Amino acid sequence: AGASLYVRDGQGRTALLAATSHNHVETARLLIEAGADVNAQDKKFESPLLLSGASGYLEILTLVLRAKPDFKIYNRFGGTALIPACERGHVEVVRALLNTDLDIDHVNNLGWTALLEAIILGDGGPRHQEIVRMLVVAGAEVNIPDQDGVTPLQHARQKDYREIVVTLETAGAR
């Protein structure tokens, strides 16, 4: 009906970002097909890519990925969509993101990579074990430490995440 794709609400959200925040897949699809900006960020630095990844909204993430988003747009913590997806245990979202050009070893403002975040903020259970395995298979650098010099293996040992420890040791972690 001629409505602008670029109008923003008081929080700086576009219609596509609003649809993403509510996981309205069909609305997001229509907006993307109409040319909505998949890189537009709101006042909290969320974008459709970052929000769908962090929220585990695989269907919207898939639509956004098809629209070729900019992987160098970061959230308020200086992170990629992969980092919170790993932390929150969104296995299928992580799998989808690992099939892109996203920097697997990106370090956010907290000094954490996706691997570190999966271990430090994860629960060590089956989903996080799988995510750590996927990151290792995809080529994540297993020895990047946090800002205090603590490695992923050291964090996993401190938390007694035995399966993750084995995965990291097998990958050459120190």
pLDDT at residue 3 tops 90:
no
In this structure, which amino acid lies at residue 73? Answer: I
Residue 6 is predicted with a pLDDT of: 87
Longest dimension (CA), the chain: 59
Question: Would you say residue 1 has pLDDT above 90?
Answer: no
Question: What's the pLDDT tens digit per position in 120-157?
Answer: 999 999 999 999 999 999 999 999 999 999 999 999 99
pLDDT band at 4, cuts 50/70/90? confident
Give CA–CA dist 172/153, Å, rounded.
10
6-57 pLDDT, tens digit each: 899 999 999 999 999 999 999 999 999 999 999 999 999 999 999 999 999 9
Please report which confidence band the pLDDT of residue 2 belongs to, taking 50, 70 and 90 as the band edges.
confident
Give residue 136's pLDDT.
98
Rg, Å, the chain Cα set? 17
State the pLDDT at residue 83: 98
Mean pLDDT over 78-85 rounds to 98
Q: Provide the whole-model pTM.
A: 0.95
- Give the 3-state DSSP-derived string for the chain, with helices as H, strands as E and coil as C: CCCCCCCCCCCCCCHHHHHHHCCCHHHHHHHHHCCCCCCCCCCCCCCHHHHHHHHCCHHHHHHHHHCCCCCCCCCCCCCCCHHHHHHCCCHHHHHHHCCCCCCCCCCCCCCCCHHHHHHHCCCCCHHHHHHHHHHHHCCCCCCCCCCCCCCHHHHHHHCCCHHHHHHHHHCCCC
Determine how many CB atoms are found less than 10 A away from the CB of residue 10: 7
Four-residue CA torsion sign, 158, 160, 165, 167: negative
Structure tokens at 118: 């999966």
In angstroms, rounded to a whole number, what is the distance separating the alpha carbons of residues 110 and 117?
10
